[in-house]
Amino acid sequence: MSAAGFFTITRPANALVSGITAIIAYLIATGTIIPSTVLLLVIVTLITAAGNVINDYFDADIDRINRPERPIPSGIVSPMAAWGFAVTLFLFSILAALFTPPLCLSITLINTLILVLYAAKLKSMPVVGNAAVAYLAASIFLFGGAFAGWHALVLMLPLAVITFLATMVREILKDAEDVEGDAAGGADTLPIRIGIRPATRIALGFALVAAVASVVPYLWWGMWYLVGIVIVDIIILVAAIRTLPCKTPASVRATRSTTLIKAGMFAALVVFALSAIFL
């Protein structure tokens, strides 16, 4: 085991971007950033890192097929060490949340429970597991708003819905990429249940609904927002459409659609932030 292994298993870039997203959510909701928003960064980064670690702990057998380079299957981090590390990260995130409003603490506790349930059980359930991840991604916007109170949380609902729908697209396509390992590990994902091609069509359906939902903030941000978000919508729709002819996990992976969707979601975050600051 090594310090590098413990660092890698948290997927630090993913965790940090999630933390930054919470601050951006607060900025969008309130129009400002205050020093105490550093708590948002710390809490969301820690809980996201903990979720990544606990997910790798439960997915060790599947990752030996799908992601053999990850720290546990490669032997860099032992399963028990990963378990202890995840628990520690969860505890520190909850401890930090004690210094936030009760609404934020409640979201932290709920999300901790969902992260553990997802890794242990929900991931292997068709659609339910995808919805859990989509909620967790969307809840970052709710968490950032909750730091300013219920009124700000409500303001974040449209962005949370958009994020939920876009994440559903990526999660379904990720399952399509991982059919071999998931099947060997006993998972029962949507692509395993109904087939890869029908699953890609459902993913496209979510992408279309996400594109429609993404227009709603035009009502208060105006034309420049619309221009930016349409570009994002095109990226995500093209990524989903590219998977429609795919019949095998390898062909889905070859489209690199999940990577493209991830880039599109990051671009959407930039559009949201710029719109909040300048429009």
Q: Is 195 left (phi over 0), alpha (psi -120 to 50) or beta?
A: left
- 126 and 178, same domain (yes or no): no
Helix, strand counts (H, E) of the chain: 17, 0
For the chain, the domain total comes to 2
pLDDT beyond 90 at 246? yes
Closest CA to 122 of 80, 165, 69, 175: 175
- 189 and 220, same domain (yes or no): yes
Q: To 10 degrees, what angle do helices 223-242 and 257-278 make?
A: 170
Please, which pLDDT band fits residue 1 given cuts at 50, 70 and 90? low
pLDDT beyond 80 at 66? no
Q: Note the pLDDT of residue 62.
A: 75
- 85 and 184, same domain (yes or no): no
- 138 and 6, same domain (yes or no): yes
- 141 and 164, same domain (yes or no): no
pLDDT digits (tens, 9 = 90+) for 71-124: 888 888 888 999 999 999 999 999 999 999 999 999 999 999 999 999 988 888
Cβ atoms within 10 A of the Cβ of 40, count? 27
pLDDT digits (tens, 9 = 90+) for 154-204: 999 999 999 999 999 999 999 999 888 777 777 788 999 999 999 999 999
C-alpha dist (Å) from residue 112 to 14, 21, 149, 263: 17, 18, 21, 26
- 187 and 74, same domain (yes or no): no
- 16 and 104, same domain (yes or no): yes
Could you say which of 86, 120, 148 is where a domain stops? 148
Q: Note the pLDDT of residue 184.
A: 74
- 31 and 142, same domain (yes or no): yes
**Residue 175 structural domain:** 156-279
Q: Note the pLDDT of residue 225.
A: 97
Q: 69: domain CATH number?
A: 1.10.357.140
- 207 and 90, same domain (yes or no): no
